[in-house]
Structure 1
Amino acid sequence: MKLALDHLVVAAPDLDAGTDYVAGVLGIAPQGGGAHAAMGTHNRVLGLFGGIYLEVIAIDPAAAAPARPRWFGLDTEAVQQRLRDGPFLLHWAARVERPADLGRWQAQYPERIAPVIPMSRGSLHWRITVPADGSLPAWAGEAGSAGDGALPSLIQWDVAAHPGASLPRQDLALRRLGARHPRAELLRQGLAWLGADHLVAVEQDDGAPELIAEIETAQGIRTLR
């Protein structure tokens, strides 16, 4: 089974900072979005060519603390430390298309796929994989694990049409999603098993893990990282 690239996740200390960061790089500001009550977060979104979209996500200061750790590692010290330096491209999600079913797939391989939780925002309903501790997904091997935002969360939409199709069309197209990681080979193994290795180019780099999106704009190629 081959997965599809669903959306990119830009984490921000607050939505205004994240919106300004994306607008400064791409020339167009994310808008709309809303709150995720179960996670205590909120977002703004920006459509890209082909139905892919980008979301800016931040902890919602007006929301009650969730009953569980927030998704995408937002409660972890590692992510919070990076956010002190400003917004950054944290993560991405890969879509499971029907007739495959994300819940059944996870039940078959619970040691490899994180628990699936139902989510909603307004009229949108979806299921997404989130580790119980809220951490970013990781692929385990004999020498450790690899993830750090480069291994995708898995998502399946329970709506008639993908939400990216309803976003305003912009002159923005994702040309390349790349990742640099000190355990690149282990990361490639996980991506291949998931059926997502065609969606992200992984490079060996002994520095800090990094996710990079090259996006074509009216002003040329711009890079989110």
Structure 2
Amino acid sequence: MVMLQLDHVAVLGETLDEAAAHVERALGVPMIPGGQHERYGTHNRLLGLSPELYIEAIAVDPALAPPKEARWFGLDRFAGPPRLDKWVLRCDDIDAALKALPMAGHPVHLERGDLAWTMAVPEDGLLPFDGLFPALMQWRSPVPPGKTLAASGLALEGLCVSHPEVDALRDLLAPHLDTTGLAFETGAAGLRARIRTTHGTVTLE
């Protein structure tokens, strides 16, 4: 059976500066430059988390040509204040993962610098459960960012996934989850991450 582990969480914004500032205000640590994703017309910044995780701030990149397909993470329709909006699970066999969870999308092979990965992306860019279904991926480069980003002094203590139909979401994922500190609760669609910092534990939403 394919197993899924938490790889990173993503804060979306109408601009990358807004998304990164949202993270930095909450955690008190600056994010570092990431790069561009030409296929989807986006760019990002990154921040390492223990244990071997990271936070991604991501937004539409106005310097890139609009993509021919829908942007990932539902960024074509994102509006409003920046927020923690996506969680990404990695696996060792994306084809097996999509056979088990076809609603995650279709596999797209991507590269940037020395990184290579395959991401599951829905045709319309919109993940199920109002975007709260996790994005699925498989790293094809030997050392993923979670192992190479500089230590930030931050650690993820827990991630809570909230949705009105959270029982159905949990039931779909439960047989495949291999990660700790994950909670599901019934409520408005959203994510909350508890992150330990040098000035105590804070909640990133």
Structure 1 length as normaliser, TM-score? 0.85
Q: Cα distance 1:109–1:3, how it changes in 2: closer, same or farther (>3 A)? A: closer
Q: Which amino acid aligns with 1:63?
A: L
> Does 1:151 pair with 2:133?
yes
Where structure 1 has 5 or more consecutive residues not aligned to the other structure, the ranges are 139-146
> Does 1:178 pair with 2:172?
no
Partner of 2:76: 75
8 Å CA contact 2:74–2:131 kept in 1: the answer is: no
What are the Cα deviations for residues 140-164 of structure 1, in whole angstroms up to 9, with x where unaligned?
Answer: xxxxxxx233321111111111222
- Spell out the pairing of 1:1-225 with structure 2 (5 A cutoff): 1-76=2-77, 79-80=78-79, 84=80, 86-97=81-92, 101-106=93-98, 108-109=99-100, 111-136=102-127, 138=128, 147-195=129-177, 200-205=182-187, 208-225=188-205
Aligned residue pairs, count: 204
Aligned partner of residue 186 in structure 1, secondary structure = helix
Q: Cα distance 1:41–1:8, how it changes in 2: closer, same or farther (>3 A)? A: same
State the 1:35 CA deviation: 0.1
Structure 2 length as normaliser, TM-score? 0.93
Where structure 2 has 5 or more consecutive residues not aligned to the other structure, the ranges are none
Aligned partner of residue 196 in structure 2, secondary structure = strand
Identity %: 39
8 Å CA contact 1:5–1:199 kept in 2: the answer is: no
Q: Distance in 2 between matches of 1:182 and 1:47?
A: 31
Over aligned residue pairs, what C-alpha RMSD do you find? 1.7
State the 1:39 CA deviation: 0.3
Q: Cα distance 1:160–1:189, how it changes in 2: closer, same or farther (>3 A)? A: same
Aligned partner of residue 51 in structure 2, secondary structure = helix
Q: Distance in 2 between matches of 1:47 and 1:13?
A: 22
State the 1:181 CA deviation: 1.2
